[in-house]
Amino acid sequence: MSSIFLNAMERLNAVSPYSEGLSFKGMLKKWDDFVYVKQSGFRCCRRLDDRLFFDVLLRYLSTFPPLTRYENFQHGSRPALGTVHKITVAKNSRIHAHGDYHGDLPSLIKNMRFLQSVGILDFDFKVTENALVVCLGDYVHRGPESKKILCLLMQLRLENPDRAFLLRGNHEETELANSWMHPQDEMYHLFSSSELLWGFLPAKEMIELFYRSLLLALYAGVEKNGKMEYIQFSHGLFPIYYDLHNFLEQNQVNEETVYQENNLSKRILDLASQTDDPVRQKAAIKLKRVFDAIAFNLATQPGCANSFLWADCDQNAKTQKYWEKNRGLILSEKICKAYFDLVSGNNNLVVIVKAHRHIYERSPHGKVHTLPASSLNDLSYLISADSPKISDWKVDLIKIPFGIKIAVTAKRMTLFIG
Ligand SMILES: [Mn+2]
């Protein structure tokens, strides 16, 4: 843990009027009666007090420590990209996964209310037994209320450490703040001024620590005949150089740091040359071809642009063009299928549930589900486990009549996908 962070914790205890924190209920009560005011044609909510925000942030970081700071991120010559997490879920579980919020607070609150109505959250905002809430990243930018969204999501995770999970999206990156932030975003001043928290701590650094605490992917597994089947939740897709197979096979390991590598994973090379399984051999050859084509892009890409956050599965992806400017890796359904074939050993990766786009998409093989951004459609998804076999689980779309729309956000979203 960095010394600046520990120092901040000490100072916070001395100066914050909120050191006991508010409950989730208390926060919602504070914001449930939105007062929107017209400001230069944009609708904005009341500004959230910075000290409350950073109080919650510090409590969150002390419970869910971020990866060590960037300069200490090295493992040999490979920078760490973040961590992936693995959990076991009971059959008959219900998982609520939601796509990008992008500063749209009414969407988040309506979703919380909806989860209460279907019994996934109780009325104290505890996630109920056999339920999970997974937020797929891109909480900030585009809309005006990023700060409140982060505050509520941190509180949700603090109160439900085993049942609510926060993933990192490609917008959870401080370097993007200036270029993609809504001009009326209540976080804008934190990035654009040289203001220091409590006179010494740059706000941007605190927020960066939060971003680094977010998971790159969550693997939720259910046991079936002694084997595990997993759903991957992630904002984007997967980095093809990450040896997921090893992680899924090690039943006693629940968390792993993912490092950026500029070589194809050892497993892919081994499989291409050694396996007798023609399916995996073919998959390895296909993936190696993609890797060779994008090796230059991977080598020059900063760690924050890794494919857990950025990549997409696109049915129309051209077979020879895997890398798109400002989008990163775009893989066809066939290549995605090859990845599934490759990583499946005794344990199986069965489906990926991702976000990062604005319409619902289901790949033809049913392996990749893309949930749309909330701001545009106000849609919500539940994954119901009525069978021990994940591939039989149903993805249900629930359309919520929200009432409150931030038209400006929606309009911007159509212009700036991702
Ligand atoms: Mn995105």
pLDDT at 214 over 90: yes
Give the Å distance between the CA of 235 and the centre of ligand 1: 7
Give the Å distance between the CA of 20 and the centre of ligand 1: 34
Give the Å distance between the CA of 383 and the centre of ligand 1: 21
Mean pLDDT score across all residues of the chain: 76
Confidence band of 387 (pLDDT split at 50, 70, 90):
low
Give the Å distance between the CA of 92 and the centre of ligand 1: 30
Give the Å distance between the CA of 136 and the centre of ligand 1: 9
Give the Å distance between the CA of 57 and the centre of ligand 1: 22
pLDDT at 417 over 50: no
Range of the domain at 192: 3-263+331-415
Give the Å distance between the CA of 225 and the centre of ligand 1: 36
* Number of domain units in the chain: 1
Give the Å distance between the CA of 100 and the centre of ligand 1: 7
Which of 22-31, 56-65, 368-377: highest mean pLDDT? Answer: 56-65
Structure confidence at residue 128 (pLDDT)? 94
Give the Å distance between the CA of 48 and the centre of ligand 1: 25
Q: What is the mean pLDDT of residues 190-213?
A: 80
DSSP reduced 3-state for 362: strand
Domain membership of residue 16 (yes or no) is: yes
Domain membership of residue 306 (yes or no) is: no
Give the Å distance between the CA of 124 and the centre of ligand 1: 30
Domain membership of residue 35 (yes or no) is: yes
Q: Kindly state the tokens that stand for 247.
A: 């992680």
Structure confidence at residue 375 (pLDDT)? 56
Give the Å distance between the CA of 138 and the centre of ligand 1: 6
Give the Å distance between the CA of 15 and the centre of ligand 1: 36
Domain membership of residue 269 (yes or no) is: no
CATH number for the domain spanning 376: value is: 3.60.21.10
Give the Å distance between the CA of 170 and the centre of ligand 1: 5
Q: Residue 196: which region, alpha, beta or left (left: phi > 0; alpha: psi -120 to 50)? A: beta
Give the Å distance between the CA of 3 and the centre of ligand 1: 32
Structure confidence at residue 190 (pLDDT)? 82
Instruction: State how far the Cα of 230 lies from the Cα of 223, in Å rounded to an integer.
Output: 9
Domain membership of residue 271 (yes or no) is: no
Give the Å distance between the CA of 416 and the centre of ligand 1: 10
Domain membership of residue 291 (yes or no) is: no
154 to 111, 171, 213, 317, 353: CA distances (angstroms): 16, 17, 11, 36, 22
pLDDT per residue as tens digits for the range 233-281: 999 998 887 888 889 988 889 999 888 776 667 778 777 777 788 888 8
Question: Which of these, 101, 187, 107, lies nearest to 137 by C-alpha position?
Answer: 101
Confidence band of 295 (pLDDT split at 50, 70, 90):
confident
Domain membership of residue 326 (yes or no) is: no
Structure confidence at residue 70 (pLDDT)? 46
Structure confidence at residue 347 (pLDDT)? 76
Give residues whose Cβ lies within 5 Å of ion ligand 1.
Answer: 138, 169-170, 356, 418
The letter for the amino acid at 173 is E
pTM for the structure as a whole: 0.86
Domain membership of residue 235 (yes or no) is: yes
Structure confidence at residue 319 (pLDDT)? 62
Which of the residue ranges 17-21, 75-79, 154-158, 223-227 would you say has the lowest mean pLDDT?
Answer: 17-21
Give the Å distance between the CA of 261 and the centre of ligand 1: 22
Q: How much of the chain, in percent, has pLDDT values that exceed 90?
A: 17
Q: What is the mean pLDDT of residues 336-343?
A: 87
Which of the residue ranges 242-246, 329-333, 367-371, 409-413 would you say has the lowest mean pLDDT?
Answer: 409-413
